[in-house]
Amino acid sequence: MIGRKVLRRAALAVVTAAMAALPCVLAAQRAQKPLTNADVTAMVQLGLPAQPILDLIRCRTPGFDVSPQAKAALFAAGGAARAGDMQRIWEAMTNAARGSAPGQRIAQATHGRGGEDAGSCSQPGTPAGAAAAALSPAPAAAKPRGPYWAMPTVALLAGGGTQALAMEKTQLAQTKTKPQSLAGLAEDTAVTQGLQAGINTATQSAAEHMSSQLGSSAVMQAGAVFGGLMGHRTPDVTYVWGVPGPASSNVLQTTMPAFQVDFARAPGVNPDDFVPEIVKLTPAQNTCRLVGATRGKQDAASQDAADWQVYSGFVEDRVGVELRKQARGEYALSPASPLVPGEYAVVLRPVRRNQKFSGGDVSRGQGAGLMFDALWTFSVADTAQ
């Protein structure tokens, strides 16, 4: 008699345990695949708060890359404003990758939080459920862009770790002076005044639409400055790209820096059409640093047709580099020889000089035009070795 009672109690305990575990099993079945860095980056770029992301990391089977390069890419996606969130998220990803099962992580994380359980992983209205819904496939017409693209990132490799460099934005000005050299353009008052005043064609609305990390200024009609050029035909002018400020805030004490560059999922960009390069920047009258220049019709920056060979006659001070392709749109980049002290930037450039661009995309910094609008600056100090 006692033996039968013991057996019934044991069977009941097994059934109870199985029922308790059922939500977690169902959640795992619905998950179908491990949670990846790309998933976490997508949620960050969609603007989800940290807690739903943390809860989903604790619920799902991890498939994370926790290398220094992956950390730099994640922090770059979050930006400086979310550095604290990124640290918490990264720690959760690292803990998950080191081996505890989802159920154990949930128990550890929810201890003292009102009795949450693994079922919250899949329940609508809970933080983890909301995060999971953000990653769920949507109908084609309503599918969010966030999970499928990411802004380019550049990380400095130093001391066995990485430091993400902030993506900066160029200003664009016009001048009548032909682009013989950046040093000559640096003496052109029209260029420096135009860049300083923010006469450029990258609009805030375009940057906001892309949810990019790029800042921007309002469009000012170049005709107001170059009105004397207007006539019955559209004249050629020189477009000059510059970056505000006399020096970069990233000061390096090495003449041979190494970088990790990733533009594999840049919006509207075919990664096979571009490679990273290093250019030397030319300080201009202590107000900005010139990046490059090219000729084009005065109205080229307002045209949407892809008929402008921006790079065919592009003037810039390229540095010889060692380039190692790691994957599509992912490169290891370093100078081929020690850099002299001065101002530099990592940039993205077309593989083909004759590639055609839409002037509107170039001026707004969107699509393939983004590659002329974005850069990552650094200074090599006089004391660098």
Q: In this predicted model, what pLDDT tens digit does every residue of 189-237 receive, in sequence order?
A: 767 666 666 533 333 333 333 333 333 333 333 333 333 444 456 788 8
Same-domain check for residues 196 and 260:
yes
Task: Identify which has the larger pLDDT, 133 or 333.
Answer: 333
pLDDT of residue 131: 57
Same-domain check for residues 214 and 327:
yes
224 within some domain: yes
pLDDT of residue 109: 43
Same-domain check for residues 199 and 343:
yes
Same-domain check for residues 374 and 238:
yes
* Main-chain dihedrals φ then ψ at residue 159, nearest 5 degrees: 60, 30
Same-domain check for residues 29 and 177:
no
Same-domain check for residues 248 and 335:
yes
Q: Is the pLDDT of residue 288 over 70?
A: yes
Region 242-255: what's the mean pLDDT? Answer: 91
Q: Helix, strand, coil % (nearest 5) of the chain?
A: 40, 25, 35
pLDDT of residue 133: 53
Contacts of residue 252, Cβ cutoff 8 Å, sequence gap at least 6: 156, 378, 379, 380, 381, 384
Alpha helices (runs of H) in the chain, residue ranges in sequence order: 2-31, 37-45, 50-59, 68-78, 83-97, 102-110, 127-135, 182-186, 189-197, 204-209, 359-364, 370-373
Task: Identify which has the larger pLDDT, 175 or 343.
Answer: 343
Query: Domain span at residue 140?
Result: 2-147
385 within some domain: no
Same-domain check for residues 169 and 140:
no
Residue with tokens 């609305």: 205
pLDDT tier, 331 (very low <50, low <70, confident <90, very high otherwise): very high
Q: Is the pLDDT of residue 38 over 50?
A: yes
Last residue of a domain, one of 105, 126, 147: 147
316 within some domain: yes
249 within some domain: yes
Same-domain check for residues 140 and 201:
no
Same-domain check for residues 182 and 139:
no
Same-domain check for residues 7 and 81:
yes
pLDDT tier, 128 (very low <50, low <70, confident <90, very high otherwise): low
Region 331-335: what's the mean pLDDT? Answer: 93
The pTM score is 0.56
For the chain, the domain total comes to: 2
pLDDT of residue 130: 52
Last residue of a domain, one of 147, 175, 200: 147
Instruction: Give me the percent of the chain exceeding a pLDDT of 90.
Output: 28
Same-domain check for residues 132 and 170:
no
* CA-wise closest residue to 65 among 35, 43, 106, 28: 35
pLDDT of residue 39: 85
Q: Is the pLDDT of residue 108 over 70?
A: no
Average pLDDT, whole number, for the chain? 74
Last residue of a domain, one of 83, 118, 147: 147
54 within some domain: yes
pLDDT tier, 15 (very low <50, low <70, confident <90, very high otherwise): very low
pLDDT of residue 329: 93
252 within some domain: yes
Same-domain check for residues 286 and 210:
yes
* Main-chain dihedrals φ then ψ at residue 382, nearest 5 degrees: -60, -25
167 within some domain: yes
Tell me the range of 181-190, 299-308, 317-326 where mean pLDDT is highest.
317-326
pLDDT of residue 335: 94
Task: Identify which has the larger pLDDT, 103 or 324.
Answer: 324
50 within some domain: yes
pLDDT of residue 232: 52
